[in-house]
Structures are given as C-alpha cells and as structure tokens.
Amino acid sequence: MSVQELEKIFQDKVDQEIKIEPKDWMPDAYRKTLVRQISQHAHSEIVGMLPEGNWISRAPSLKRKAILLAKVQDEAGHGLYLYSAVETLGTTRNQTIEDLHSGKAKYSSIFNYPTLTWADIGAIGWLVDGAAILNQVMLCRASYGPYARAMVRICKEESFHQRQGFEILLVLSKGTPEQQAMCQDAINRWWWPSLMMFGPKDSESTHSDQSMTWKIKRKSNDELRQQFVDMIVEQAKILNVTLPDPALQWNAERGHYDFGEIDWVEFWNVVKGNGPCNKQRLEARRKAWDEGAWVRDAAAAHAEKRKARQEVKAA
C-alpha cells in the first residue's frame, strides 16, 4: 500500500472514532506529535510533584498530610501511565526522561511557580487541577488508544484531587481572618498562571489545526479557557473569594464570563525558562535521577545475576 492509501485508512479510522492502536500504521508526524504531547504531559505530572511535595513535611494536620502524600503519589502514578503510553509509540522511558533533563522536552509552566503557603496546596488542587481536568476530559476521547485509556484513569483521580483542593480552601475560607487572607492570597497568585495553562490564544497556537484533524485535540485553547473561567467563577462564590481580575463579568449575550487579558509577556518568559522556579525544578529532577543511578544500575546488575543463577540451576 502506498503512504497515501495508508494515510487515508488512518484518517478514516480517526474520523469514525475508531482508536488507533500501537501496532496500527500511523503517520510519522502523528507519532511525533503524540510523543511530544504525551511526554510533556508525563513530565508535568512528575515535575508537578515538586511544588506540592514542598508542603508534605509541613502539612498542618495529620489528615492533610496523608491526603497530600496520597495526592502526590497519584501524580507519580499518572506519570507512570503516561510514560508507558509514550513507550507504546517506540520511545523508551529513559529517552523521554533524558529529554526532560536536557531541556529538550517541556512540562507545564504552571509548576515553575512556588508554593508559598499552605493555601497554595488548596489553590493548586482547585485551580491547577481544575484547569488540567478540562484538558484531560477532552483527551479521554483522543484518537490514540493507549493515551485515551490512560486519560480515563487519570481523570477519575484528578477530579478527586480538585475536590480535595477546593475543600482545603473551603476550610480556610471559614477559618480565622489569617486563614481567610491566606486563601485569598493564594488565589490571587494562582489565578492568572492557571489561565495560562491553556496555552497561547488560538490565533497564536501553532499545533492546533492538525491536532484537531487527528482528534488528539477536540477543543481549542480559548474554548477550554472560557469553560474554565465559567466553572471557577461559580465555585469562587461558594468560597467567598474574589478572582483578581477587574474585567471579569457576566456577558449575557455570549452566555459566558468576559475576562481580562493574560500577561503574555510573563507567559512567554516563564516558558522560556525565566519563571520563579524553572531552574530549581529541573535541578531537583536531575539530582534525583543522577543520585538514583547507582540504584538503577544495582537493580539491573542483580536481575542479571539472578537470571544467570537460574540458568545454571536449570541446566
């Protein structure tokens, strides 16, 4: 079959909502796009462990500590699913991780902001996980089977995390004046970075059209962002907090909330590596990896030895 024919079959499947599976033929560009996107997502889970992990030792109650530990652990699990999905596309986990450490691969810029107070743990759950979910729900229907299935599992846990984050803030919002201030302050700092999570405006987004055709993406950045704003504004009322955007108001005509302009200079600055924690995050990951090398080597060497001994026994 010619490439054109293969491409036609492939696109027909996609159009008919038949999942593409690892052994199916797929265009190189589709494969590359998926590897880039899924590994970026995997890295975001792993790097995303760090800002929240920053508060494990200081969580203000035993219950909160246990919940936070479990949450960060879930993120590691999500990373695992996603690295596995990347492996089905022929790229090893080690390769994927090396690309992160070399700076070749990206992760979500949101994790380059610091967690300064306990309320940030709530804000991350509510806003950051909230934003992530909208993207992930969409991806549960992605055309690539292993990716879509990983997303289904992730989505379940993620919406649980969002509720937990909201609940942290709810307790603070009903707490002492200091706690209320802490809650509002965290929301003030995390609101705009959360909006940035949906990426550049549609008019500036480079990969979007092709991804739509391939059904790796089903909604545009701006659509998802609008959906997020509409959802959060309602939830903010329950928390009795304000969102730091004077332009935010209901637009009856559109049936959506209008909102102000994102600081795109900051957005690109953080993407380029100048966020408050870019260096710190990448260094933490590299350090864990480098200092773990002897452990991985030893495990491999032991497995070899064991195998050799079993062969001797069997012989």
Partner 1 sequence: MQQPVNFSTDQLVNYILNLADNTLILSQRNSEWCGHGPVLEQDIAITNISLDLIGQARSLYQYAASLQGGGTTEDALAYLRGEREFKNCLITELPNGDWGQTILRQLFFSVFQQLLYAQLLQSKDATLAAIAEKSLKEVTYHVRWSSEWVIRLGDGTEESHQRMEKALETLWSYTGEFFIPADYETAAVAESIGVDVTALQQPWLEKVQEVLQEATLPVKEDAKAWMHTGGKSGRHTEHLGFILAEMQYMQRAYPGAEW
Interface residues toward partner 1, by CB under 8 A: 46, 49-51, 53-54, 56-66, 69-70, 72-73, 76-77, 79-80, 83, 114-118, 168, 171-172, 175-176, 178-179, 185, 189, 269, 274, 276-277, 279-280, 284, 287-289, 291-299, 301-302, 305
Q: Where does residue 195 rank: exposed (0-12), middle (13-18), buried (19+ CB within 10 A)?
A: buried
238/298 with CB nearer partner 1 = 298
DSSP state of 270: I
- Least Cβ distance, residue 269 to partner 1 (angstroms): 6
- Least Cβ distance, residue 308 to partner 1 (angstroms): 12
Confirm if 138 and 65 have CB atoms less than 8 A apart.
no
Task: Centre a 10 Å sphere on the Cβ of residue 131 and count the other Cβ atoms it contains.
Answer: 27
73/251 with CB nearer partner 1 = 73
135/184 with CB nearer partner 1 = 184
The residue whose two tokens read 């379940």 is 156
10/111 with CB nearer partner 1 = 111
Read off the tokens for 98.
Answer: 């090396």
Q: In whole angstroms, give the CA distance from residue 30 to residue 229.
A: 31
- Least Cβ distance, residue 292 to partner 1 (angstroms): 2
- Least Cβ distance, residue 186 to partner 1 (angstroms): 10
Distance (Å) of CA 171 to CA 116, 167, 182, 184:
18, 6, 11, 12
- Least Cβ distance, residue 204 to partner 1 (angstroms): 21
Three-state DSSP at 249 gives strand
54/210 with CB nearer partner 1 = 54
Beta bridge partners of 256: 251
Taken in order 217, 219, 223, 224, the sign of the CA dihedral is negative
Three-state DSSP at 251 gives strand
- Least Cβ distance, residue 146 to partner 1 (angstroms): 17
Identify the helix (H) or strand (E) that includes residue 250.
Answer: strand 249-251
Buried b (16+ CB within 10 A) or exposed e, 149-179: ebbeebbebbeebbebbbebbbebbeeeeeb
126/214 with CB nearer partner 1 = 126
45/245 with CB nearer partner 1 = 45
- Least Cβ distance, residue 66 to partner 1 (angstroms): 5
142/172 with CB nearer partner 1 = 172
Which H, E and C letters describe 32-53, residue by residue?
HHHHHHHHHHHHHHHHCHHHHH
For helices 145-173 and 62-87, the axis angle rounded to 10 degrees is 160
- Least Cβ distance, residue 156 to partner 1 (angstroms): 17
